[in-house]
Each structure stands twice: as structure tokens, then as C-alpha cells.
Amino acid sequence: MPADGKRKTILPGPRQGRVTVPSSKSIAHRELIAAVLSGVEEPKIRGTSKDIEATRRCLAAMQAGDPVWPCGESGSTLRFLTPLAGVMGWKGRFQCEGRLAERPQMPFERKSRYVVPGNVSSQFVSGLLMALPLADWDSEIVVEGALQSAAYVALTEATLRAAGLKFEKPAAGHWKIPGHQRYQIAGGRTVEGDWSQAAFFLAMDGVTVDGLDAHSLQGDRAVLELLGKSVVDAGPVPDLIPALAAHAAGREGCSQFINCGRLRLKESDRLESTAAMINAVGGEARIEGDTLIVQGVKRLRGGEVQTMGDHRIAMSAAVLACRAEGPIIVDDATVVAKSYPAFWEDFEQLEREEP
């Protein structure tokens, strides 16, 4: 059990007000890498997180020639920087924490053609796309099957274009990349707000979220269309499922979240931990294969949520509290530091109505 200082009691009732979310974690990783490789000032990032700091630490260690690269629990850091280390010939090892070492990885090899299964993380494709322009050889990437979370690869493509890097895309899931290129991104670029983090506040219904780009390439911008939808495909938006499921738990009707298999490979088995979270506070959730089924109820009773070390479960508990009659206790509120350290501060400044 965590120490008492980690536990948090969330009072029940709807919330109203405004919040400004931090910069996009997904874009910040990419822009930090591009800035280091360009030799310019790093991007302007509103807020920080353990994951962003992991990328900063690893890049600094690699540049300094240190043999240990501490990537914490950040899958983006590990998967983006593995191909880069291989192309650049940097020698060292990644130091992983939590479940990161158990999550799927893809070792880098020096070759001209890379075949990536479409059902694995898009981070593998993004890592190759960022590294291969620097190689001493021309290369191509081919995705076999439908690419999951394709919008995240679109973010990588946008960063490459901004850095002046060239690539061809003959077809979806196929890239041809000339080698011998160099990054030339402008220094001090501003990173837009994070739609993934905004999802938790948007799922509360009464909260206005500032700092977002309505025309963003972030795939999780789809949260606006998916809130209240009875069937959601988790494939393109896996990080939204805990927030969407929490929203569905306190709304009458049945919701199905299909294609959730990859949620099992997150900081927790996020399919199991999301269902357990909802059931623990008086909701009704069950798992059938890779589908999460949530039968909404008029009002949740409250109770204790086990975060299982997962930041998105902790933040989803706040969404559940907005639809609860009694308090919700989070066993470890500190896990939000992985992606959104100021989450509880932002949440607590919202106006609460009595349930």
C-alpha cells in the first residue's frame, strides 16, 4: 500500500470553470529531439512531466557520452531514442523503470528496409522516421497491416518537415527516406496544448479548456466527437479510453470500447484497471475479449480507486467524482506526475456543486 501522503480524497459533485492544460507531451518529445539534433534552443513547453524530463535526461546523457540513459517509465523516450542511438553510433544502455521493460520493444538494426507490424505501437515508426534521415544510407519503412494510432505518426512527419527533412510517402504506411540529411529546426518553437490531458476535463462536461489548437494534428482531438458515443474504436485513440469510459460510467446507456488489446501494455493493464476503477465506485463495467463494456448508471456511489501506478487511471477518478454521490479515494494521487504534475492543482481550483 502507498504511504498515506499519496492518498487523496476527491469530494463528489459536478465541476465548473476553466483550466489551461500543459503543452502536448507527444509533440514536446519530438520537438526536444529535433532541437538537440539541430543544435538550437529547446522548444517552449508549458508545464513538464516525468516523461518529458526523461527525454531531456536521455538526450543530455547521450550527448555527453554517458553510458547510462535513464528513461524512467517513458515508452516514447525509449522507442524514439533507440533508433537514433543506433544511427548515431552512441554507446550505452537505457535504464527502465516500472513496467517499461515489459512493454513491446523493437531492437534497431542497420539496414535499408524496415518492416514494422501495424498492430504494435506507432512509436516504433516515429522513432525510425526521426533517426533514418541522419543515416549514411537511404532507407524505407513499410508497415504491414493497418497502422494503429496513425495520427501520432502524422505529428512526427510534421516535425520532420519543420526541420527541413525530406521523405517520400508512396502509399499509406510506406516511407522512403534519403540519408545524409541534417536537422534544421528553428529554436524556441512553442508547443501547443495537450488534447490527451484536456480529455479528462472535457469529460467532466462543465469545464472549459484553454490552450488548445482546434486544428491540431493530435489524434486525441477526437475526444470532442467521441464523448457520449455508444461505440468507440480504441485503436486510433488508446489514451482516451479511461477518460471516455469514466464519462460513460455516469451516463445512462451502454457504451462499448472495442479494439482495446493494446491497453494491456500501458503503465498498467489499462483494460483491467479501467474496468476495476469503474466497478470500485459503483459503476458497471466488464471485459469481453478486447472490448470494454460500460453500462452507465444515474449516479455512482463513490469508493476507493486503485491506480495500479497508472497516471490516466488517477485522473479518470476525478471524472468519476463529478458523477458520484460520495467521495472517491485515490490510493496514489502522485502518479499523475508522469504526464501532468499540476493536474490536482488545476482540478481543485474548479467550482464544485453539491451532488
pLDDT, tens digit, 9 for 90 and up, residues 268-288: 999 999 999 999 999 999 999
Which carries the bigger pLDDT value, residue 237 or residue 148?
A: 237
| pLDDT confidence of residue 325 | 97
Q: For residue 4, what pLDDT is reported?
A: 64
d(CA 189, CA 184): 12
Q: Determine the average pLDDT of the residues in 202-231.
A: 97
Report the top-level CATH class of 4-22+193-352: alpha beta
Residue 3 has pLDDT above 50, yes or no: no
Residue 1 has pLDDT above 50, yes or no: no
Q: What is the pLDDT of residue 102?
A: 86
Tell me the mean pLDDT in the region 222-230: 96
Share of the chain above pLDDT 90, in %: 93
User: Which grid coordinates belong to 306?
Assistant: 486503485
Residue 109 has pLDDT above 90, yes or no: yes
pLDDT exceeds cutoff 80 at 68: yes
Q: Which of 101-115, 195-209, 241-255 is least confident?
A: 101-115
Distance CA 275, CA 287 (A): 7
Lowest-confidence pick of 92-106, 175-189, 251-265 = 92-106
Q: Do domains 4-22+193-352 and 25-177 have the same CATH topology?
A: yes
Ranges of each domain in the chain: 4-22+193-352, 25-177
CATH 3.65.10.10 assigned to domain 25-177? The reply is yes
Q: Which of 51, 220, 239, 331 is catalytic?
A: 239
What HEC string does the chain produce?
CCCHHHCEEECCCCEEEEEECCECHHHHHHHHHHHHHHCCCCCECCCCCHHHHHHHHHHHHHHHCCCEEEEECCHHHHHHHHHHHHHHCCCCEEEECCCHHHCCCCCCCCCCEEEEECCCCCHHHHHHHHHHHHCCCCEEEEEECCCCCHHHHHHHHHHHHHCCCCCEEEECCEEEECCCCCCCCCCCCECCECHHHHHHHHCCCCEEEECCCCCCCCHHHHHHHHCCCCEEECCCCHHHHHHHHHHHHCCCEEEEEECCHHHHHCCCCHHHHHHHHHHHCCCEEEEECCEEEEEECCCECCEEECCCCCHHHHHHHHHHHCCECCCEEECCHHHHHHCCCCHHHHHHCCEECCC
Model pLDDT, residue 120: 83
CA 34 to chain centre: 19
Tens of pLDDT, residue by residue over 37-60, are 999 999 999 999 999 999 999 999
Assess whether 233 carries a catalytic annotation. no
How high does pLDDT run on average in the chain?
96
Stretch 197-202: mean pLDDT: 98
